[in-house]
Chains A and B, each alone.
Chain A
Amino acid sequence: MSKNLKFVSGDEAVALGVRLARPHVISAYPITPQTIVVERLADFVEDGSLKAEFMHVESEHSAMAAAMGVSAVGARAFTATSSQGLLHMAECVHYASGARFPIVMMNANRSIAVPWSIYGDQRDSLGLLDSGWIQVYVEDAQEALDMIIQAYKIAEHPEVSTPFMVNLDGFVLTHTYEPIELPDQKVVDDFLPMYQTANKMSFEEPKSLCFSTSPADNQEFKYMQHKAMERSIHIIHEVEAEFEQAFGRSYHGLTESYRCEDAEAVLMTLGSVTGTVRTVVDELRSEGHKVGLCKIRYMRPFPKKEVSELGKMVSKVGVLEKNVSFGYEGTVFTNVNSVFSSLDTNVKSKNYVGGLGGRDITKDDIRAIFMDLLNNESFTERVEFIGMGCDTNE
């Protein structure tokens, strides 16, 4: 079978993935840099190539509320947002995961005001890390498309029943063009059957959904939510294996290690900056430096096992993230160190915060990070802001 290649942006890849996944309803409000996703989906509904209802809602809060309504009748829902929109939606984001509705949402990672900026960083989605959603961060357009398809299968799995957020770096990924392979609709249909659930409104078996409980029963439901997220780890691996069988591509599970064997220093990344780090790792390896890359794909569920194995294997780990919890450190770094703290090894770690408000993270920045990791035995500075445009007077 010949490959169906397309030259598309990250946003367009998401829209194509959504069309292949055949949601019944798309409820969304446009926001830069997610807009093209919704525009393309509106086109698809208009030209009849996607048989779905497109709901023009008045806000992101309504977009998620509508998506919950869709899920509550057992139908498949899609929405997409970014930044301020995600935060406006936040109440419903928690509601959807508590209700165990397997909604799939694309989020274009964009900075949070103020200072106002439409450009990318990851403070929006990481700010909602505790909202009970599965969170995946993708590196390129192909992975974005593929993860939309996988997302529904993982989220809708009866042992998981948890909504799924697919994160793409704003502009760097949403608006850049690359070739992708468009999967065949028939293969997608076989891989992703229609959603079946008992957690829905029905005339035959009327149910009360999203009920209240007194304090006597509430915590049990939160426990079950926690356990479902933990269980999703093995479902992610199962779905990934099945995906590879059907489509011939694999993303290596919750993390992807690149040239980490015998590495002295490994840099952990989230999202599209991974591609740049990959290139720098190749360059440094050819110069004889023992460096590697660990791409964190899933932030929830967190890759405890993989990070633990990394901590046993290498002595120095950097965490590069477009995020900071002001006054402390980056949240990705906190999560990584929580795993390291349970190990007997003496792995040293350092946090590199950069790319905030859309600042580029360059190959030179990444090279400097690796040199910092390789040339120091311990780190006095736990958190370093990289790529500052001026002296910090310290």
Chain B
Amino acid sequence: MRPKVRAYKRPDKISDYPSTPAFESGHLVSKNAGWRTFKPVVDPEKCVGCLRCYLVCPDGVISRTEDNKVEIDYDFCKGCGICAHECKLDAITMKKEADEDE
């Protein structure tokens, strides 16, 4: 399961830092999707819930919904397009971010 984003508190003292560059895994302090240009959009009518996109997503941002379809966490999706490329039913299309606003 994706860890929750937690607020990052800047250390006041050097002793508040971990003493080596290592920290508990899954400690997310910020969203990370700022460089996405194209956004994958799932068509729920076409999606059969095969989860192929879930398997190939390099960032692990695709999860299964209650009705056995998929949803994408856009807070962390980088827009690589692998899911859209691999979907056998063309249920995922890449849409330019700016076009979304129109």
Contacts and interface: CB of A to CB of B under 8 A. Distances in A.
The answer to whether A and B interact is: yes
A98 B22 CA distance: 11
Contacts of A100: 19-21
B21 A213 contact: yes
A99 B25 contact: no
A207 B17 contact: no
B26 to A, nearest CB: 7
B22 A208 contact: yes
Contact of B21 (A205, A206, A211): A211
Contact of A221 (B10, B17, B27): B17
Contacts of A206: 24-26
A221 B25 contact: no
A211 B25 CA distance: 10
Main secondary structure of the interface of B (DSSP, over half): loop
Nearest to A216: B10
B14 A223 contact: yes
A217 B17 contact: yes
A207 B27 CA distance: 9
A352 to B, nearest CB: 40
B35 interface: no
Contacts of B23: 207-208, 211
A224 B27 CA distance: 22
Contact of A99 (B11, B17, B21): B21
Interface residues of A, number: 20
A208 B27 CA distance: 9
A347 B17 CA distance: 43
A208 B25 contact: yes
A308 interface: no
A207 B21 contact: no
Contacts of B27: 208
A98 B19 CA distance: 11
Contacts of B17: 217, 220-221, 224
B19 A161 contact: yes
A210 B21 contact: yes
Q: Which of B20, B21, B25 has the most CB of A within 10 A?
A: B20
A26 B19 CA distance: 27
Interface string A200-216: 00000111111101001
A391 to B, nearest CB: 54
A213 B10 CA distance: 13
Contact of B11 (A98, A210, A220): A220
A205 B25 CA distance: 8
19 contacts: A98-B21, A99-B20, A198-B22, A199-B22, A206-B24, A207-B23, A208-B22, A208-B24, A209-B21, A209-B22, A210-B22, A211-B21, A213-B21, A216-B10, A217-B17, A220-B14, A221-B21, A224-B14, A224-B17
Interface of A: 98-100, 161, 198-199, 205-211, 213, 216-217, 220-221, 223-224
